[in-house]
């Protein structure tokens, strides 16, 4: 009997002594919470979409747009000493050529400056004349063949200011879905033109340079920050005695940007001009247009 009581006491004591060990083993088997991790807070709210209003077109941007203009001259030309003007079509000078042109624009906020230029050249174009006449010192009769050259260079420098510009809608990711910008343009344009005619016996030419003030506007529409439609027009005029000029330039182009800094563009441009250099019989005239499609690239930095 005493032995049984002793055994019971021994068993109870051993059980009591093992409780701390069992408790420690259980705590080790249960993952402990990381006391260094911050307590979970309220879920962050999604960023609000930008507010409609003033446009957010990028500031401090430089765009360079080299292109090839498939252009042909049209109209009439008159050499000094001529009594009449001859159509470019009759001289076989109205054949289109891929000609280089380039435009560069720098913008800072609403202000900007831009420069552009193009050059066209065609030579040794032969054409039989349907009737007689004269171009400068070159006299010809019906059936005579004339060889003609023509060079045309135009360079522009303008300042720009954005009068209007808004972002009208946004995508779900907060980027611009549709926006527009209207800019005013003011600056000058320079021309250098040369026309030469050669018969079987005589060669004569007329040329001139002009600088005229120019004013215009540009409308830009942007879709999903990947497609841009650009419409630009300007007028130039300078009545300066024996050196007179008038011009109307209009260009419409579309640009697709597969990458943020690179795009491809296609468009149409027409430059109407009336240029006169000299007085009376010694006057050289070009009254016509340079028109055609252009394709090129757009680099944005």
Average pLDDT over the chain reads 84
The pTM of the full predicted model, rounded to 2 decimals, is 0.78
pLDDT on residue 82: 86
Q: Identify whether 233 is part of a domain.
A: yes
Cβ atoms within 10 A of the Cβ of 113, count? 14
Dihedral, CA of residue 30, residue 35, residue 36 and residue 39, to nearest 10? 110
CA angle 198, 82, 212 (to 5 degrees): 95
Q: Which residues of the chain have pLDDT under 70?
A: 1-59, 167-176
Q: Identify whether 280 is part of a domain.
A: yes
Q: Identify whether 231 is part of a domain.
A: yes
Q: Identify whether 44 is part of a domain.
A: no
Is-contact 174 58, C-beta < 8 A?
A: no
Per-residue pLDDT of 223-255, as tens digits, reads: 877 899 999 999 999 988 789 999 999 999 999
Give the structural domain span for 115. Answer: 53-300
Q: Identify whether 43 is part of a domain.
A: no
What is each CA distance from 190 to 2, 65, 151, 187, 193, in whole angstroms? Answer: 127, 20, 14, 11, 10
Q: Identify whether 20 is part of a domain.
A: no
Say how many domains are in the chain. 1
Q: Cα(30)–Cα(28) distance, rounded to whole angstroms?
A: 5
CA 111 from centroid of its chain's CA atoms: 16
Is-contact 288 275, C-beta < 8 A?
A: no
Provide the CATH number for the domain around residue 135.
2.40.128.90
pLDDT on residue 59: 65
Q: Identify whether 108 is part of a domain.
A: yes
Q: Identify whether 179 is part of a domain.
A: yes
């Amino acid at each position: 009997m005493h032995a049984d009581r002793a055994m019971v006491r021994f068993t109870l004591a051993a059980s009591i002594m093992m409780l701390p060990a069992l408790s420690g083993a259980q705590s080790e088997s249960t993952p402990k919470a990381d006391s260094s991790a911050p307590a979970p807070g309220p879920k962050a709210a999604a960023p609000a979409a930008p507010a409609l209003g003033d446009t957010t077109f990028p500031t401090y941007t430089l765009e360079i747009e080299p292109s090839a203009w498939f252009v042909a001259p049209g109209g009439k030309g008159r050499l000094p000493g001529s009594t009449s003007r001859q159509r470019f079509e009759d001289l076989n000078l109205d054949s289109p050529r891929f000609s280089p042109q380039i435009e560069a624009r720098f913008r800072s906020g609403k202000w900007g400056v831009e420069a552009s230029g193009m050059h066209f050249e065609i030579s040794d174009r032969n054409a039989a004349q349907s009737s007689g006449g004269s171009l400068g010192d070159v006299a010809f009769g019906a059936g005579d063949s004339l060889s003609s050259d023509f060079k045309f260079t135009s360079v522009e420098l303008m300042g720009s200011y954005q009068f209007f510009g808004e972002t009208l809608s946004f995508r779900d990711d907060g980027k611009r879905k549709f926006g527009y910008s209207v800019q005013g343009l003011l600056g000058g344009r320079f021309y250098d033109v040369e026309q030469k005619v050669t018969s079987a016996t005589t060669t004569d030419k007329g040329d001139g340079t002009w600088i005229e003030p120019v004013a215009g506007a540009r409308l830009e529409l942007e879709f999903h920050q990947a497609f841009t439609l650009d419409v630009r027009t300007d007028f130039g005029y300078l009545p300066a005695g024996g050196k007179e000029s008038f011009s109307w330039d209009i260009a419409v182009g579309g640009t697709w940007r597969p990458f943020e800094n690179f795009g491809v563009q296609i468009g149409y441009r027409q430059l109407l001009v009336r240029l006169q250099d000299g007085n009376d019989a010694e006057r050289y005239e070009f009254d016509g247009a340079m028109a055609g499609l252009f394709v090129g690239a757009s680099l944005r930095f």
